[in-house]
Amino acid sequence: MKYNYLFFDLDGTLTDSRLGITNSIVYALKKMNLPIPEDSVLIKFLGPPLVESFQNYCGLQEKAALEAVDIYREYFSTKGLYENEVYPGIREILEELKAKGYGLVVATSKPEQFSVRILEHFQLDVYFQLIAGSSMDTSRNSKESVIRYAIEQLGVTNPGDVLMIGDREHDVLGAKACKISCIGALWGYGSREELLEAGAVSLISRPEELTALL
């Protein structure tokens, strides 16, 4: 199938943001005098909406989870978003895909204003027709809602024109809910088993493998 738009997740797909995210989580939990989870738990925060993760992995009720997110953003907005790096091969594949005429879009659960700043910082913003992220409140924070928002902004009427590329089950499930196929990126934070179980149509180990599937 010929796709017209390629939607990319941000964390774990375009950039390795693990350090900035985990440092921001630790900052929030310390400020709230809460225990710091093991690294094996902290890595589970990479991908899902933060409110959901603070509830699921720290046992917080919704009100406390929302407070934790606000504190998290104190650190992330000034330091954490720059504790980040672009994965090898990403810049080259984006340049190639854009030259081939694909409409490139970022669809991420990270707040849109942070996503724009990160992509501008790494000079990746020039490749994207649209950068769609979550809202700072909870009105648009699931991957499904972000993908739907991006589709609406682009005026896409046929979901078959769009392919999602992401590294976690949330990318796959959000895409499926919007009737979009998703390719799993194995260089990110999700496992092969997680992505296949969620329904990824294919898996790639390196960014340059994407062109062979298009």
204 contact partners, CB below 8 Å, separation of at least 6 = 183, 184, 185, 186, 210, 213
pLDDT digits (tens, 9 = 90+) for 35-85: 999 999 998 898 788 899 999 999 999 999 999 999 999 999 999 999 999
pLDDT digits (tens, 9 = 90+) for 155-212: 999 999 999 999 999 999 999 999 999 999 999 999 999 999 999 999 999 999 999 8
Residue 1's pLDDT band (boundaries 50, 70, 90)?
low
Check residue 58 and give its pLDDT: 92
pLDDT at residue 15 tops 90 = yes
Residue 137's pLDDT band (boundaries 50, 70, 90)?
confident
Q: How many CB atoms lie within 10 A of CB 110?
A: 24
- Which residues are part of the catalytic machinery? 9
pTM for this prediction: 0.91
Which helix (DSSP H) or strand (DSSP E) does residue 196 occupy?
Answer: helix 192-198
CA 42 to chain centre: 16
